[in-house]
Structure 1
Amino acid sequence: MVDHHVIDTRDAYLTATAAIVGGTGPIGVDAERASGFTYSQRAYLIQIYRRGAGTFLFDPPAIGDFHELNDALAGEEWIFHAASQDLACLREVGLDPARIFDTELAARLLGLPRVGLGTVVEELLGIHLAKEHSAANWSTRPLPEAWLVYGALDVELLPDLRDRMVDMLAADQKTVIAGQEFAAVLTRESKPVSAEPWRRLSGVHSLRAQRNLAVARELWFARDRLAQDIDVSPGRLVPDASLVAAARTLPTTRQELADLREFSGRASRSELDRWWAAIQAGLASTELPSVRSNGDALPPPRAWADRNPDADLRFKAARAVLAEISDEFAIPLENLVTPDYVRRMAWTPPEPTDSESIGEALATLGARAWQIELTAQRIADAFVEVHQTINAPSEEGS
């Protein structure tokens, strides 16, 4: 068995950089984080493979900055599987590609039924790729050899997979579409930080009173501060369900909180003073949150028939024509047009409603040129047909 050595010194990293530069063709890249174990989303292993150079496994916390490698590969194509999952943690250490090929996104555009790396590799290359360590705690040191083998295989097959997909995209006349999608991944802005991140608590919607929500808010922030300080995933300290249970019950004493059976988790008792202080802060707060969160979120489509029946008809009509286009081009609906874009246009359609105004609305929301070309006219036609149906004179009035 090949011994997969982890590069964890600056000198070894610089030597590896020179070797990678000496290779040929696109570069397979992957990163492993410790999601669910640590608070941070930093990379704990970065894997790189290039033909003619080999496979390199880097320890980012030990190496620090990777700008030399980034500068040396600035003009090359980097191959990822689901690049959007890795770009943020790679950029943290100075790795920021200018051109990418995303095999997961390509699989979607090709209409493959399953797009996980293992299934795509098996279907297109005929190679079984085990994925048993994908949810491992990659902050572990030293990393087990079996994990390193897994990490290496994740990148060693990417160039062959990319070459196969290039031919398939060309055969399906989707090369331009893929290029626009890959470029969009690189330029996509991060989601803005929520003004009320505590509302992401699972089950918080069950709290109906402002005081209970205030306690949930203070508990969430107390847990988040502790998780950040010790770099542990918040849910591993006290689960969401426990915070919501305490917010619902509103214990009046520290002992009552300690006796609350639903309040569990490894830090539920060792940090009891912290949680009790948060509850007291919530009970005393004069800044009570609204029962409903603020923002521009639309109501769920299932409620549209009652709240905005015209929008409901437009949405259903648009979904029907988009489903037809999806089948015609073998592109999943969610990749054809972002579902939220369709909902927003159906709720408040542009005026006048024609292909040009629909196209402009889609572009403003963030749609790519190929998406607009395939869908704008059909959506406009669907909206116009709905409008004519709504405004058609009834037989009684004719």
Structure 2
Amino acid sequence: MTDETTVVPLLEPREGIPPVIEDQQDLARVVRAFAGGTGPVAVDAERASGYRYSGRAYLVQLRRAGAGSALIDPIRCPDLSGLDTALADAEVVLHAASQDLPCLAELGFHPRRLFDTELAGRLLGYERVGLGMMVENVLGLKLEKGHSAADWSTRPLPEDWLRYAALDVEVLIELRDILHEELRATGKLGWAQEEFAAVLAYRSPGPRSDPWRRTSGIHKVRSLRGLAVVRELWTLRDELARSSDVAPGRVLPDSAIVAAALELPRTTKALTDIAPFTGRSARRHLRDWLAAIGAARSLPDSELPQPSAQGDGPPPANRWMDRDPVAARRLAAARAVVAALADEHHMPTENLIQPDAIRRLTWEPPEVVDDGTVAARLRELGAREWQIGLTAHPIAKALLRLETKGEI
């Protein structure tokens, strides 16, 4: 870790800001250059989260030894399959890879080998694992992160944004090299490789059922009629946002949906008395919002949404003592084991073992608890082999101790 007084601002890319690649001829040139480069490839993608409905990439940045840096406009060059083929054998370095892999896959870019510098930082026990802080703490360089939340769908992209984007991959490989050595020195390199493979193998479970139930503040809505209003407004907002490729919260904030569900306005005046409906975007569709509320009000009772049913997993942990005190004691014992191991190995508990796996294991433990059955159950729940090797025996031991004491 560097001393604060040695931190040096990273202000300009070494070769200057590269031109943005916007046509197939220039893209082919980049593909040839990166195919001829050596070593890992640093990759980053900029989206327009909070501005656009889609999660697509609006800029892709790359850097490799022997090839330099490249900035690609994926709106003008939406097919990166040629680059994917050229780099099929290369290790791809990403920071917080799970955020960028889906939008890169949409472009036909699918890394086969991964090094995630954020995940490596977590396994190594770094307290702050954002790219800026990792670069500062590990390399002694300060990155300007002022444009991370910008609207990257803007065209043309301002020069200072392009500079920021190029700098995001400028020293990513150097960061990777140091973290790789730290992982090797601490005996965690194998663990990291399992984690990186799991990130690459992950597949989204698909759309959620009843996604409207995730509206922020919905817990305030107690009536079934109010839930129907949330559902109708959420669905309408989603349709409007999708059709115009605008982030849903910019069409209508969640707070407006919840307020309408609580107040059930009948007139335009009553609707605009609700503060969030006075925004310019919300006012544009006042008639539609009111119609959606009216549709919810007129539904027969038999068609009203019911309170959210319990999913296939265990209930929230704060309810365990009331629902199943024995399971609550198992959970407390297992969590204590995980916390101690995480402290011993200098990493967050959620990286040592997935919290959901511990909840499911202790809510429905094997009929016979021993090292083998606990290991098998954790494996079923998606735990990696290194995690199982660290946790199965001490968790089994803790659960058996409860049995011996007659506490379960």
Q: TM-score, normalised by structure 2?
A: 0.93
Task: Provide the residue aligned with 1:395 in structure 2.
Answer: none
Amino acid paired to 1:368: R
1:180 correspondence with 2:194: yes
Cα displacement string for residues 78-99 of structure 1 (whole angstroms, at most 9, x for unaligned residues) = 0001100000000001000100
Partners of 1:388 and 1:188 in 2: CA distance: 39
Moved over 6 A (4+): none
Q: Verify the 8 A CA contact 2:276 2:282 in the aligned structure 1.
A: no
SS at match of 2:76: helix
Partners of 1:363 and 1:383 in 2: CA distance: 18
Greater CA drift, 129-138 or 265-274: 265-274
Amino acid paired to 2:34: I
Task: Provide the residue aligned with 2:159 in structure 1.
Answer: 145
C-alpha displacement of 1:294: 4.4
Partners of 1:324 and 1:391 in 2: CA distance: 21
Write out aligned runs for 1:108-127 (5 A). 108-127=122-141
Task: Provide the residue aligned with 1:22 in structure 2.
Answer: 36
Task: Provide the residue aligned with 1:43 in structure 2.
Answer: 57
Paired residue for 2:368, among 352, 359, 363? Answer: 352
Task: Provide the residue aligned with 1:302 in structure 2.
Answer: 318
Amino acid paired to 1:384: L
**Residue 140 and residue 391 in structure 1: after superposition, are their counterparts in 2 closer, same or farther (change >3 A)?**
closer
Partners of 1:168 and 1:64 in 2: CA distance: 37
Paired residue for 2:78, among 60, 64, 69? Answer: 64
Partners of 1:237 and 1:67 in 2: CA distance: 34
Amino acid paired to 1:389: K
Amino acid paired to 2:381: L
Paired residue for 1:10, among 24, 29, 32? Answer: 24
Write out aligned runs for 1:212-251 (5 A). 212-251=226-265
Task: Provide the residue aligned with 1:396 in structure 2.
Answer: none
1:380 correspondence with 2:396: yes
SS at match of 1:28: strand
Partners of 1:314 and 1:361 in 2: CA distance: 15
Paired residue for 2:347, among 324, 328, 331? Answer: 331
Q: Verify the 8 A CA contact 2:266 2:290 in the aligned structure 1.
A: no
Cα displacement string for residues 145-200 of structure 1 (whole angstroms, at most 9, x for unaligned residues) = 11111111111211111111111111001111111000000001214311110011
Amino acid paired to 1:351: E
1:107 correspondence with 2:160: no
C-alpha displacement of 1:132: 1.0
C-alpha displacement of 1:262: 4.6
Partners of 2:238 and 2:407 in 1: CA distance: 53
Q: Verify the 8 A CA contact 2:53 2:241 in the aligned structure 1.
A: yes
Task: Provide the residue aligned with 2:7 in structure 1.
Answer: none
Amino acid paired to 1:130: E
Q: Verify the 8 A CA contact 1:239 1:265 in the aligned structure 2.
A: no
Partners of 1:198 and 1:299 in 2: CA distance: 20
1:136 correspondence with 2:159: no
Task: Provide the residue aligned with 1:155 in structure 2.
Answer: 169
Equivalenced residue count is 392
C-alpha displacement of 1:348: 1.2
C-alpha displacement of 1:297: 4.3
Partners of 2:373 and 2:257 in 1: CA distance: 47
**Residue 257 and residue 391 in structure 1: after superposition, are their counterparts in 2 closer, same or farther (change >3 A)?**
closer
Partners of 1:329 and 1:269 in 2: CA distance: 54
Amino acid paired to 1:277: A
Q: Verify the 8 A CA contact 1:237 1:266 in the aligned structure 2.
A: no
C-alpha displacement of 1:264: 3.7
What RMSD in Å do the two structures reach over aligned CA positions? 1.4
Cα displacement string for residues 34-78 of structure 1 (whole angstroms, at most 9, x for unaligned residues) = 000000000000000001111000000111111111011111100
Q: Verify the 8 A CA contact 1:109 1:178 in the aligned structure 2.
A: yes
Partners of 1:223 and 1:309 in 2: CA distance: 43
SS at match of 2:275: coil
Partners of 1:116 and 1:262 in 2: CA distance: 33
SS at match of 2:55: coil
Amino acid paired to 2:326: D
Amino acid paired to 1:172: T
Partners of 1:359 and 1:284 in 2: CA distance: 53
Q: Matched residues, percent identical?
A: 51
Q: Verify the 8 A CA contact 2:256 2:276 in the aligned structure 1.
A: yes
Amino acid paired to 2:160: A
Partners of 1:298 and 1:265 in 2: CA distance: 40
Unmatched 5+ residue regions in structure 2?
A: 1-11
Cα displacement string for residues 328-370 of structure 1 (whole angstroms, at most 9, x for unaligned residues) = 2112100000111111111111111111111111111111000
1:166 correspondence with 2:180: yes
Unmatched 5+ residue regions in structure 1?
A: 393-398
Amino acid paired to 2:369: T
1:281 correspondence with 2:267: no
Task: Provide the residue aligned with 1:79 in structure 2.
Answer: 93
Task: Provide the residue aligned with 1:196 in structure 2.
Answer: 210
1:389 correspondence with 2:405: yes
Q: Verify the 8 A CA contact 1:8 1:63 in the aligned structure 2.
A: yes
Amino acid paired to 2:389: E
Partners of 2:131 and 2:273 in 1: CA distance: 47
Partners of 1:229 and 1:354 in 2: CA distance: 54
1:341 correspondence with 2:357: yes
Q: Verify the 8 A CA contact 2:49 2:55 in the aligned structure 1.
A: yes
